[in-house]
Homo-oligomer: A and B are copies of this chain.
Amino acid sequence: MTDLTLMKTLHIPAKTKIVQLVMDGVGGAPRALDGKTELEAARTPNLDALAAHSQLGLAVPVRPGITPGSGPAHLALFGYDPLTYVIGRGVLEALGIGFELQPQDVAARGNFCTVDEQGRITDRRAGRIATEVNQKLVALLRDIKLPGIQTFVETVKDYRLVLVLRPTAGQTLHANILDTDPQQLGVPPLPARAQDEASEATAAVVNQWIAAAREILKGHPPANSLNLRGLARDPGLPKFSEVYGLKAAAIATYPMYRGVARLVGMDVLTVAGEEIEDEVETLRAQWEAYDYFFFHVKKTDSAGEDGNFEGKSKVIEHVDRAVIPAILALNPDVFIVTGDHSTPSALKSHSWHPVPTLFWSKYCLPDGVGEYGERACARGSLGVFPATDEMPLAMGHSLRLSKYGA
């Protein structure tokens, strides 16, 4: 697999520019009507024309057969083997809302939930309460004090929050602790259970905070309880500048993806709105300032998760129209169109299917397959390849690597 050491050793300066366009969950599955996937059914004249001058392939985010979460899937696209580099969900959430996480912090994702009088969970998302309600509850939770530990409670959106514990008295916190969310209804939350001896003291502190929080929330149905998930510390990933020598920028509107990008050292750019056109505007405005752009489109995945085949095709058509010509007009040296994973609307969830990927550069040898789609990519010269290869290939094709050995 990809060796980051090789990248660290060989990268050289260049003036070339790389764009990695990630349509979240772009890969799909065939519908009964005509056996086409969402991507194959979409009308994408710009992507098809670009495909004719590109190499195609199917990217495997983690390993064959494995369905990745968003964190691992993006790490792979960035060249970090997700089995080697592991990020806890709590850390992703904290970074995603722009929280300045410190190396000693322990972060957890929190979900407000509804419990009945016996303390059994009746709604794991507390009826998806409005973000404004969340903010009011979070303000109350900030009053909870723990001895020797600073706590931060932050609203994410809807029913989701982040809890960060920061040691103040020289102590060390450990985060090998199980989720309290039992992932089912009709049972009470679980205690925060340490998975190793080092984490036991921290688990005790976490349980203390949870007890205080539930006491406060009792009077505020439907959000009359909460769960913590993905307790974790900053994994201290190597940074893009160090690994690739790239000045890297992330253009993404959804907190999670902004978070992963920050973790690998990208500048996370301000996007004026939530629309794809706003992201394109940011790309244009910042084009001269960076070597590499991670450009993330969320709505392909959302439509897939909703089981909306037509909707997903429409998002892809929107990207084809609004993003592809705009990026080509900027004249990048390497342009990759890919996804972090597949999200077939037939499954309404992420899946293990390898991800249709288009790789264009001035120095690529085009396959001559004039279509961007799952089956078209299966005929491409990149073959079925680890997603972690995308960045090393981009580095080669952008003339940013020196020769290995004499």
Task: Using CB atoms and an 8 Å cutoff, list the residues of chain A in contact with chain B.
Answer: 2-3, 6, 10, 29-30, 35, 37, 58, 62-72, 82-83, 86-87, 89, 92, 230, 344, 346-347, 349-353, 363, 365-368, 374-375, 378-385, 389, 391-397, 401-406
Contact = CB atoms under 8 A, between A and B. Distances in A.
- Copies of this chain, tallied across the complex: 2
B29 A68 contact: no
A35 B395 CA distance: 23
A406 B70 contact: yes
A365 B350 contact: no
Given A82-B405, A86-B405, 18 more contacts: A2-B63, A6-B66, A29-B365, A62-B404, A64-B389, A65-B393, A65-B396, A65-B397, A66-B404, A68-B405, A71-B406, A72-B405, A92-B406, A351-B363, A365-B374, A381-B384, A383-B383, A384-B385
Contacts of A379: 379, 381
A338 to B, nearest CB: 15
A305 to B, nearest CB: 12
A83 B392 CA distance: 15
A69 B10 CA distance: 12
Nearest to A88: B406
A163 to B, nearest CB: 16
Contacts of A70: 406
What 4 A-B pairs are tightest by C-beta distance, nearest first?
A: A65-B392, A378-B381, A65-B396, A352-B396
Given A92-B406, A363-B347, A403-B68, A397 B35 contact: no
B58 A381 contact: yes
A69 B401 CA distance: 12
A394 B82 CA distance: 21
A309 to B, nearest CB: 15
A337 to B, nearest CB: 18
A3 B71 contact: no
Contact of A365 (B62, B71, B353): B353
Nearest to A66: B404
Contacts of A63: 2-3, 6, 392
